[in-house]
Structure formats: structure tokens, C-alpha cells
């Protein structure tokens, strides 16, 4: 006989069918993002780390939207709970979907996003060690309001009572039900059918299983999570904000531990999947969102927002820039007040200055557009200089056209480049030009009215002799 009993398969069930009434939202509660990631995905990620035999998400309220969110995820199945008659009823719906008749079900709530996979491993270990039929994660809270309370007798759990159904004395209990459990497969579903709905909400409460197990002499264990913050549930916008703050705080701590300077972590908003290299300095009010990746030794000044973009090493982004779906190579300088719209790519050492907007535009290495420009659907060659106020006229009211500016070209200030048009390598465009035709490489294009000076015009007008 081995000392270690064979490990039974783990089946994860995630409850995500509830109405989320307290959110007052047209969006399903479980899809509200925390630091950029939908709430439900936190539970899914924790589940995946258990390497379960199956993952089943119970959907119901706005099931189509939640199912669409889960579509195409390998190994994740859904079961529809209709109508939504409570957490016990929700779990019962998974019976036909569970592929095997043995193993351990780990039950997660989609609205408890901070739970770590370490805690789930600890739950499973405690469950196996106790030889329990059911194990409940509990936590000790200073403010247990809203949670189910753990009622013990002689130290052993005897039942769980919901806030609304508890006596004043029971509501004093500070040990709460995290809503996360491990259940051995037999006898789970049979016992679930024994749950009634005689409570203030007329729902089938999953926590009632504890009392049912006790009556049937099935062993129930508890495991108390050391970090009570992990089991915070999200039921309202206020809790969403609070738990989001905890997620961000955790992310900020990880980045600082990895060598990133956050001047003021409390006002720095970094989504969970963002990566930042060491020795990068991030000033207050910076938002880094989605799949953004920032290199090493960058400096991001106050009020910058970067979405789904990649920045190389040693990039400086000055105050109040917005960068979306763009790529910025090493040693570039951007801003202040620059707008890099989707499809922008800056080559190494390029410079984009104040009040410059770029869309679907590539700037070669060392190219510059330092002041007050709009460059759309354009390609700017290496070390070209785009003068202040240069505008690409890329849209003719029907379709978009391309502008090509060659290597080392010099576009004088306040030029308009009417696309489609090509400025050749090393060419010059005189300031104030309206360029409507291609400029050959190495030539100068002047496209503006010639200046005429009328000498003595002012004194002639004063003398009443007319201004002509």
C-alpha cells in the first residue's frame, strides 16, 4: 500500500448564472473588468492552474453574452441554469455535464476574483487530509456583513446561515463562508436534491449542504484562508471599485519588486496582463491597458494612457499622450500631448512632439514630427523631418489615400500633402506648400502663391490715393 492515496480527478465548476441585481448593469456582472480583465477570467485562471479534468461554467442570466465570452476556450464547457433558483440549484444543473462519477468538485464563484490557486491547492490538500466529503473555505472578517456565517458547535461546523436569515447572535459571527468548496462526487448530487428553499429569498442555497451532510453523518471540514482579502466577493459597483483597487495594488507590488519605479502607486493604473521592464519610471496618473508591453529604462510622465501597445527600451513619453494599438521602438520620444492612433509604428530614435496626431503611420528610425501635425496613412522615411503644422490630406470624403515621405526628406512647415502623393528621398518641400503631385528624389517643390511686395502702399492709402 502506498502512503499517498491515489489523487482523484478534479472537476472545477464556476457559478456565473446569477442576476447580479446589485450591480444595476446591462452588462453581466461576471464580465465587468477589474484592472482590464473580466471578473470571470480571474476564476478561470485560478481554475486552470489546478490542471483540472474539466471546467464547467454555469451560465443563466444573459447566458448568450457570457457564452460568447467563453467561446473557443479549450476545455471550458458551459451549462445553462434557467431559471436561476439559487446557488444549490445552479450546481445541480452540472450533473449531466460532469464526465465522470468520481473525483472532487472544486466549486468557485465567478464573483470572487482575488482567490489564488495556492488557496485552491490548500483547500484540496485540507480536504484530502481530513478525508472529508465536503470542505468549505472560510475567512475571519472584521466586517462580515453580507456573507454567510459559519455556525460551529464544539468547534465543528454544523451549518451556514445567510446574513438575511441569521439571528442577531448569528450575525455577530465573524467567520464567513467564502462560497468556495471542495466536494467529493458521490454523494454530492444526491445530497443537493435534498436542499429546500424555505428561506427569505426562496432560493436553493448551496451552503445548506453543510447541515444536510451533518444529518447524514458525512464528514464536513473547513479551511480558513490566512489572507481574508482573497475571498472578497463583488456584488456592487462599490465592491467592484474596492476589489479593482486590490488587484491593481497587487500588480503594482509585483512590478516594483521586479525593478519598476512607480512614483505614486495609488494613482497608477496598470492592467493585470501589462508587462514593464526594469528601471522604467512611471509617474502619477499613468494608465497602461490591455496587452501593453513597456521596455526597460523608459520614462512615462504624468497623465499618459497606453493601450495594447509595445514600447521598446529607453522610450520617453511626455505628459498627456494617448497611445493605442501602436509600436514604438527603442529610444523614441513622444509628446507632450501626442496622439498615436491604431497602426502607428515609430522606428528607433524617432521623435513625435506636441500636438501631433498619427494614424496608421510609420516613421523610420530617427524621423521627426515635432510640432502640430496630422499624419494619417503615411510612411515617413528614416531621418526625414516633418515641419510644424504639416497635414496629410488622406481622406477625399470617400476613401483614404497614402502619403509616402522619403528618407531624409524635409517637409517645410505648414505644408499640406494631398494624398495619394510621394515625396522622394532627400527631397525638400517649401514651407506653406500645398503638394498635389509627386516630388522627385533630391528636388525642391514649391507650391504656393509667389509673394508680391507693394512698396509705399501704406503712405499712399493714408494720403487718400487708394491702396492700389
Active site residues: 371
| Set of cell numbers at residue 111 | 464573483
| DSSP three-state, residue 189 | helix
CB of 265 to ligand UD1, least distance (A): 27
Of these, 10, 12, 15, 124, which contacts ligand UD1 (CB under 6 A)?
Answer: 15
CB of 42 to Ca ion, least distance (A): 14
Instruction: List the interface residues with Ca ion, window 284-323 (CB under 5 A).
Output: none
Residue 146 touching Ca ion (CB under 5 A): no
Contacts with ligand UD1: how many residues (CB under 6 A)? Answer: 30
Find which of Ca ion, ligand UD1, none residue 252 binds, CB within 5 to 8 Å per kind. Answer: none
Distances (CA, A) of 72 to 39, 67, 68, 75: 18, 10, 9, 9
CB of 16 to ligand UD1, least distance (A): 5
Q: Candidates 188-196, 204-212, 299-307, 367-375: pick the segment binding ligand UD1 (CB under 6 A).
A: 204-212
Contact of 70 with 101, CB cutoff 8 Å: no
Instruction: List the interface residues with ligand UD1, window 44-73 (CB under 6 A).
Output: 58, 60
Q: Which residues of 330-345 are buried (b: 16+ CB within 10 A; e: fewer)?
A: bbbbbbbbbbbbebbb
Residue 450 CA, distance from chain mean position: 55
- The residues near 338 (Cβ < 8 Å, ≥ 6 apart) are 318, 321, 322, 352, 353, 354, 355, 356, 357, 358
Which lies closer to ligand UD1 via its Cβ, residue 162 or residue 271? Answer: 162
Residue 187 touching Ca ion (CB under 5 A): no
Residue 175 touching ligand UD1 (CB under 6 A): no
Which lies closer to Ca ion via its Cβ, residue 230 or residue 357? Answer: 230
| Set of cell numbers at residue 220 | 464536513
Find which of ligand UD1, Ca ion, none residue 277 binds, CB within 5 to 8 Å per kind. Answer: none
Using alpha carbons only, how large is the chain's radius of gyration in Å? 32
Find which of ligand UD1, Ca ion, none residue 134 binds, CB within 5 to 8 Å per kind. Answer: none
Which lies closer to ligand UD1 via its Cβ, residue 106 or residue 178? Answer: 178
- The residues near 336 (Cβ < 8 Å, ≥ 6 apart) are 301, 318, 319, 320, 321, 354
Q: Which residues of 170-198 are buried (b: 16+ CB within 10 A; e: fewer)?
A: beebebbbbbbbbbbbebbbebbeebeee
Of these, 85, 132, 409, 423, which contacts ligand UD1 (CB under 6 A)?
Answer: 85
Site map 228..267 versus ligand UD1, x via CB under 6 A: -----x-x--------------------------------
| Set of cell numbers at residue 378 | 503615411
Instruction: List the interface residues with ligand UD1, window 134-173 (CB under 6 A).
Output: 147-148, 160, 162
Which lies closer to ligand UD1 via its Cβ, residue 169 or residue 449? Answer: 169
| DSSP three-state, residue 66 | helix
Residue 275 touching ligand UD1 (CB under 6 A): no
Which lies closer to ligand UD1 via its Cβ, residue 66 or residue 346? Answer: 66
Beta-sheet pairing, 33-34 with 37-38: antiparallel
Residue 12 touching ligand UD1 (CB under 6 A): no
Residue 13 touching ligand UD1 (CB under 6 A): no
Site map 96..135 versus ligand UD1, x via CB under 6 A: -------------xxxx-----------------------
Residue 336 touching ligand UD1 (CB under 6 A): no
CB of 103 to ligand UD1, least distance (A): 21
**What residues does 427 pair with on adjacent strands?**
none
DSSP conformation class of 381: -
Q: Is the preceding peptide bond at 349 cis, omega within 30 degrees of 0?
A: no
CB of 393 to Ca ion, least distance (A): 55
Residue 9 CA, distance from chain mean position: 32
Residue 150 CA, distance from chain mean position: 34
Site map 92..131 versus Ca ion, x via CB under 5 A: -------------------x--------------------
| Set of cell numbers at residue 64 | 448568450
Site map 201..240 versus Ca ion, x via CB under 5 A: --------------------------------x-x-----
- The residues near 460 (Cβ < 8 Å, ≥ 6 apart) are 466, 467
Report the C-alpha gap between 284 and 271 in whole angstroms.
15
Residues that bind Ca ion in the complex, under the rule CB under 5 A: 111, 233, 235
Residues that bind ligand UD1 in the complex, under the rule CB under 6 A: 15-18, 58, 60, 81, 84-87, 89-90, 109-112, 147-148, 160, 162, 176-179, 205-207, 233, 235
Amino acid at each position: 500500500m502506498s502512503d499517498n492515496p491515489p489523487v482523484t480527478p478534479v472537476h472545477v465548476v464556476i457559478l456565473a448564472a446569477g442576476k447580479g441585481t446589485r450591480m444595476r448593469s446591462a452588462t453581466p456582472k461576471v464580465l465587468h473588468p477589474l484592472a482590464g480583465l473580466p471578473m470571470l477570467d480571474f476564476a478561470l485562471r485560478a481554475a486552470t492552474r489546478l490542471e483540472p479534468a474539466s471546467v464547467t461554467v454555469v451560465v443563466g442570466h444573459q447566458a448568450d453574452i457570457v457564452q460568447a465570452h467563453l467561446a473557443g476556450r479549450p476545455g471550458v464547457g458551459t451549462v445553462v441554469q434557467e431559471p436561476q433558483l439559487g446557488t444549490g440549484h445552479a450546481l445541480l444543473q452540472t450533473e449531466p455535464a460532469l464526465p465522470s462519477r468520481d473525483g472532487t468538485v472544486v466549486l468557485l464563484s465567478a464573483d470572487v476574483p482575488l482567490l489564488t490557486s495556492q488557496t485552491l491547492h490548500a483547500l484540496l490538500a485540507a480536504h484530502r487530509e481530513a478525508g472529508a466529503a465536503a470542505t468549505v473555505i472560510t475567512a475571519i472578517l472584521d466586517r462580515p456583513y453580507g456573507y454567510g456565517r459559519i455556525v460551529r458547535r464544539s468547534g465543528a461546523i454544523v451549518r451556514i446561515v445567510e446574513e438575511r436569515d441569521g439571528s442577531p447572535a448569528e450575525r455577530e459571527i465573524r467567520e464567513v463562508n467564502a462560497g468556495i468548496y471542495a466536494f467529493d462526487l458521490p454523494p454530492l448530487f444526491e445530497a443537493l436534491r435534498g436542499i429546500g428553499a424555505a428561506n427569505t429569498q426562496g432560493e436553493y442555497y448551496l451552503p445548506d449542504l453543510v447541515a444536510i451532510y451533518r444529518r447524514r453523518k458525512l464528514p464536513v471540514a473547513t479551511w480558513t484562508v490566512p489572507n481574508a482579502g482573497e475571498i472578497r466577493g463583488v456584488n456592487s459597483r462599490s465592491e467592484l471599485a474596492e476589489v479593482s483597487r486590490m488587484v491593481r495594488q497587487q500588480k503594482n507590488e509585483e512590478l516594483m519588486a521586479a525593478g519598476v519605479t512607480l512614483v505614486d502607486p495609488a494613482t497608477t493604473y496598470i492592467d493585470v496582463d501589462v508587462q514593464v521592464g526594469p528601471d522604467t519610471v512611471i509617474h502619477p496618473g499613468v494608465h497602461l491597458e490591455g496587452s501593453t508591453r513597456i521596455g526597460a529604462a523608459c520614462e512615462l510622465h504624468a497623465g499618459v494612457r497606453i493601450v495594447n501597445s509595445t514600447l521598446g527600451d529607453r522610450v520617453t513619453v511626455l505628459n498627456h499622450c494617448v497611445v493605442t494599438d501602436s509600436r514604438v521602438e527603442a529610444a523614441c520620444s513622444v509628446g507632450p500631448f501626442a496622439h498615436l492612433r491604431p497602426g502607428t509604428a515609430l522606428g528607433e530614435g524617432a521623435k513625435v512632439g506636441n500636438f501631433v496626431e498619427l494614424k496608421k503611420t510609420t516613421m523610420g528610425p530617427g524621423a521627426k514630427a515635432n510640432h502640430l501635425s496630422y499624419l494619417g496613412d503615411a510612411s515617413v522615411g528614416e531621418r526625414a523631418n516633418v515641419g510644424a503644422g504639416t497635414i496629410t490630406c488622406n481622406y477625399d470624403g470617400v476613401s483614404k489615400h497614402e502619403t509616402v515621405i522619403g528618407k531624409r526628406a524635409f517637409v517645410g512647415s505648414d505644408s499640406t500633402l494631398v494624398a495619394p502623393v510621394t515625396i522622394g528621398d532627400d527631397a525638400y518641400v517649401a514651407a506653406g506648400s500645398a503638394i498635389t503631385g509627386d516630388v522627385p528624389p533630391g528636388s525642391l517643390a514649391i507650391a504656393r502663391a509667389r509673394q508680391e511686395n507693394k512698396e509705399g502702399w501704406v503712405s499712399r492709402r493714408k494720403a487718400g490715393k487708394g491702396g492700389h
